Amino acid sequence: MTKVFNVEVHVGDNLERSLKQLKKKSEREGVVRDMKRLAYHEPATQKRRKSLMRAIKNNYLKSMESYLK
């Protein structure tokens, strides 16, 4: 279950900007999150609980977003 990531960054004059771009792209792709997730074994019950908590949070945020409009 190995996932291959291909993050391209154009290095120009400013190296700091390129590093910042790499960090943002890898964060968006979820590279670090997947590496952390695969680093240790997580029981199925914890996976289900996390996905349920994520769904509750997303639902709450969507309802608050529609409430503020």
Domain membership of residue 5 (yes or no) is no
What tokens does 55 get?
């769904």
Per the document, the length of the chain is: 69
**29/62 Cα distance (integer angstroms):** 22
Domain membership of residue 3 (yes or no) is no
3-state secondary structure of 68: helix
Q: What is the pLDDT of residues 18-61, one digit of tens each?
A: 888 888 888 888 888 888 888 888 899 999 999 999 999 999 99
For residue 20, give its domain range: 15-68
Q: Could you tell me which residue, 63 or 13, shows the higher pLDDT?
A: 63
State how many domains the chain has.
Answer: 1
The DSSP line for 4-67 is: ---------S-HHHHHHHHHHHHHHHTHHHHHHHHHS---HHHHHHHHHHHHHHHHHHHHHHHH
Domain membership of residue 9 (yes or no) is no
